[in-house]
Amino acid sequence: MAVSGTKTPVAGPQGDPNSLQASIKDAAMAAFLAGVLGFFFIGIRTDIAPGGLDLKMRWGAWIISILIVFAGRLLLNLFVYKTRRPVTRNLSIGLSGSESRLAQAGKVLKWGLFAFALILPFFFTTFFPGRDRQFIDLAILIMTYIMLGWGLNIVVGLAGLLDLGYVAFYAVGAYSFALLAQYLDFGFWLALPLAGLLAATWGVILGFPVLRLRGDYLAIVTLAFGEIIRVVLLNWYEFTKGPDGISGIPKPTFFGLELKRGEGGFADFFGIAYDPIQRFIFLYYIIFILALITNFVTMRLRRLPIGRAWEALREDEIACRSLGINTRNTKLTAFAIGAMFGGFAGSFFATRQGFISPESFTFLESAIILAIVVLGGLGSQIGVVIAAVVMIGGIEMLRNLGFLQQVFGSGFDPVQYRMLIFGLAMVLIMVWKPRGLISTREPSAVLKEKKRIGADMVAQGEGH
């Protein structure tokens, strides 16, 4: 080989004689494996025939799949794995630059989204009068998840405590309001702070035993806690009506005015025509304001000593202790405040649905909320918004993709595939941006010049 003491020119992709040979060898190996595995899954088809199963060989499909694997692997080898200049490298170099641009875009987007959210109901009533109700309902749903995401972001993103049972606090909030309304005739506005308080209390109760744990153990125990709450709600029939759920949960009032048709209603009081959409618009603004409060408090807390202590805790707990920070209390406040916002969101959920049952608070909900936080970028508020819009909005959008039925046949229901698509999207985003969409961190105090901090610097805390 022409390696000598002097500088050797760097070999290009074709300069490496091993490259092609090795690539073909590797691709052949992959094709062989595909052949072996695919023989049973693709090559053989079983049909139900009279008198039993009928085996049918599908040689064509089998060979095509082998060829696809061979070609795909070969291309990957030649351009990514076995070359000196993989095309993905340029991609990743480009992306490291795009990080700051993305953050910049996030800033612009933030105000854009805020403005849009502010006028959203009227936008839809004006431009989509036919489907406004559906869209506003979707906006409410997305906004609920944004709020939940922001709440969980305090625990996972800032304090770095992986919580897989966040939905428990959502449930506590929802059931608090429902039960208070049912047994004590509380209205929404009175029950809302109580629900938050109760959820926070549960957060502390959960926190005490759990916060000694670290990492995976913490995650598992929070997961268990989430399930325990649901199972109790399910089985304590006398109190919660178990799987039957609680119905007839009162609607929120506008300073004592109900949003109903006729005498004494909102429309009647202001002398405007009643329209059922008014109730949706009202609900939308309630959750919008609740979410804004969540965001405002979180942003403020980040700049306060408690918020900095959370982030410091995520970075290095032992150092925190050496600086006189009571880590147990600090973790508990993170849990409690996160839980409180979950509780607010829960009682909103109850009033919006009018009916709740333990069905709504499964682990899947926790997973979705966590996925929103992780995809958005731990600790990033705007990231959560984008992720929530993409994920919740995206799933709903699948319902409207009628054209897919023309492609795949009338039996095709895209909604059936939503979890598949969901997972695929998640994998793609994580490959593209392993630390979430907005992964840079904004410092909470600045001396001269604000510089965003790259994701590779920022620790992820326990359980990641």
Partner 1 sequence: MSTRTDTLLSVRGVETYYGKIVALRGVDLDVHRGEIVTMIGANGAGKSTLMMTICGQPQARNGQIIYDGQDITLMPTHEIVSRGIAQSPEGRRIFPRMTVLENLQMGAALVDPSLFDEDLAKVFKLFPRLKERINQRGGTLSGGEQQMLAIARALMSRPKLLLLDEPSLGLAPLIVKQIFDAIRALNEEEGLTVFLVEQNAFHALKLAHRGYVMVNGNITMSGTGAELLKREEVRAAYLEGGRH
Partner 2 sequence: MKTATKVKTTGDATPNWDADPVLSVEHLTMRFGGLVAVGDLCFNVGRGDITALIGPNGAGKTTVFNCVTGFYKPTEGRIVMRHGPGRQDDAVEAVTASGLKWQSTNAGGVFLLERMPDHEISHKAKVARTFQNIRLFGGMTVLENLLVAQHNPLMVASGFSLGGILGLPSYKRAQQEAIDKAVYWLERTHLVERADDPAADLPYGDQRRLEIARAMCIGPQLLCLDEPAAGLNPRESAELNQLLKYIRDEHNVSVLLIEHDMGVVMEISDHVVVLDYGVKIADGAADAVKSDPKVIAAYLGVDDEAEIDVPEIRKDVAKVAAESDGATAAGSKKASARKAPAKARKPAARKTKAAAPAADTAFAQPLMATGAKAPAKRGTAKASARSQEKTSAKAPEKARAPKTAKAKTGTTGPAKTAAAGGAAKSAAAATPAKAKPATRKPAAKPAPAEASEIKIANSGDYPGKQPHGTRKPRAGGGNNLTRIKGIGPANEKKLNTLGTWHFDQIAAWKKAEIEWVGAYLSFPGRIEREEWVKQAKVLARGGETAFSKRVDKGDVPTSVPGRRGAQPKKTTAKGGKA
Burial status of residue 130 (CB atoms within 10 A of its CB: 0-12, 13-18, 19 or more): exposed
**Are the beta carbons of 380 and 439 closer than 8 angstroms?**
yes
Q: How far is the CB of 449 from partner 1 (least distance, A)?
A: 17
Contact status: 3 vs partner 1 (CB under 8 A): yes
Selected binder of partner 2 within 3, 10, 431, 446 (CB under 8 A): 446
Task: Print the binding letters for residues 310-339 with partner 2: x by CB under 8 A, - otherwise.
Answer: -xx-xxx-xxxxxxxxxx-----x------
Q: How far is the CB of 150 from partner 2 (least distance, A)?
A: 15
Q: Which does 318 bind (CB under 5 to 8 A by kind): partner 2, partner 1, none?
A: partner 2
Selected binder of partner 1 within 25, 45, 56, 84 (CB under 8 A): 84
Q: Which does 108 bind (CB under 5 to 8 A by kind): partner 1, partner 2, none?
A: none
Angstrom distance (rounded) from CA 378 to CA 451: 18
Q: How far is the CB of 8 from partner 1 (least distance, A)?
A: 6
Contact status: 318 vs partner 1 (CB under 8 A): no
Q: Which residues within the stretch 8-37 sit at the binding site for partner 1 (CB under 8 A)?
A: 8, 10-11, 16
Q: Nearer Cβ to partner 1, position 23 or 333?
A: 23
Amino acid at site 333: T
Selected binder of partner 2 within 45, 261, 300, 399 (CB under 8 A): 300
Q: Which residues within the stretch 260-299 sit at the binding site for partner 2 (CB under 8 A)?
A: 297
Largest alpha-carbon pair distance within the chain?
Answer: 95
Q: Which residues within the stretch 416-445 sit at the binding site for partner 2 (CB under 8 A)?
A: 441, 443-445
> Taking the CB of residue 44, how many other CB atoms lie within 10 A of it?
13
Contact status: 96 vs partner 2 (CB under 8 A): no
Q: How far is the CB of 333 from partner 2 (least distance, A)?
A: 8
User: Which part of the chain contacts partner 2 (CB under 8 A), choosing from 163-171, 195-203, 209-217, 304-312?
Assistant: 304-312
Q: How far is the CB of 225 from partner 1 (least distance, A)?
A: 27
**Are the beta carbons of 375 and 239 closer than 8 angstroms?**
no
Backbone angles phi, psi at 443, to 5 degrees: -65, 150
Q: Which does 89 bind (CB under 5 to 8 A by kind): partner 1, partner 2, none?
A: partner 1
**What are the tokens at 155?**
């625990």
Contact status: 1 vs partner 1 (CB under 8 A): yes
Q: Nearer Cβ to partner 2, position 259 or 313?
A: 313
User: Which part of the chain contacts partner 1 (CB under 8 A), choosing from 3-11, 175-183, 302-310, 345-353?
Assistant: 3-11
Selected binder of partner 1 within 55, 89, 287, 458 (CB under 8 A): 89
Q: Which residues within the stretch 137-156 sit at the binding site for partner 1 (CB under 8 A)?
A: none
Q: How far is the CB of 329 from partner 2 (least distance, A)?
A: 9
Q: Which does 459 bind (CB under 5 to 8 A by kind): partner 2, partner 1, none?
A: partner 2
Q: Which does 5 bind (CB under 5 to 8 A by kind): partner 1, partner 2, none?
A: partner 1
Contact status: 457 vs partner 2 (CB under 8 A): yes
Q: Which does 54 bind (CB under 5 to 8 A by kind): partner 2, partner 1, none?
A: none
Q: Nearer Cβ to partner 1, position 7 or 450?
A: 7
Compute how many residues bind partner 1; rule: CB under 8 A. 15
What is the three-state SS of the chain? CCCCCCCCCCCCCCCCHHHHHHHHHHHHHHHHHHHHHHHHHHHEEEEEECCEEEEEECHHHHHHHHHHHHHHHHHHHHHHHCCCCCHHHHHHHHHHHHHHHHHHHHHHHHHHHHHHHHHHHHHHHHHCCCCHHHHHHHHHHHHHHHHHHHHHHHHHHHCCECCCCCHHHHHHHHHHHHHHHHHHCCCHHHHHHHHHHHHHHHHHHHHHHHCCCCHHHHHHHHHHHHHHHHHHHHHCHHHHCHHHCEECCCCCCECCEECCCCCCEHHHHHCCCCCCHHHHHHHHHHHHHHHHHHHHHHHHHHCCHHHHHHHHHHHCHHHHHHCCCCHHHHHHHHHHHHHHHHHHHHHHHHHHHCEECHHHHCHHHHHHHHHHHHHHCCCCHHHHHHHHHHHHHHHHHHCCCCHHHHHHCCCCCHHHHHHHHHHHHHHHHHHHCCCCCCCCECCCCCCCCCCCECCCCCCCCECC
Q: Which does 311 bind (CB under 5 to 8 A by kind): partner 1, partner 2, none?
A: partner 2
Contact residues toward partner 1 (CB under 8 A) are: 1, 3, 5, 7-8, 10-11, 16, 84, 89, 93, 96-97, 454, 456
The footprint of partner 2 (CB under 8 A) covers 297, 300-301, 303-306, 308-309, 311-312, 314-316, 318-327, 333, 441, 443-451, 453-454, 457-459
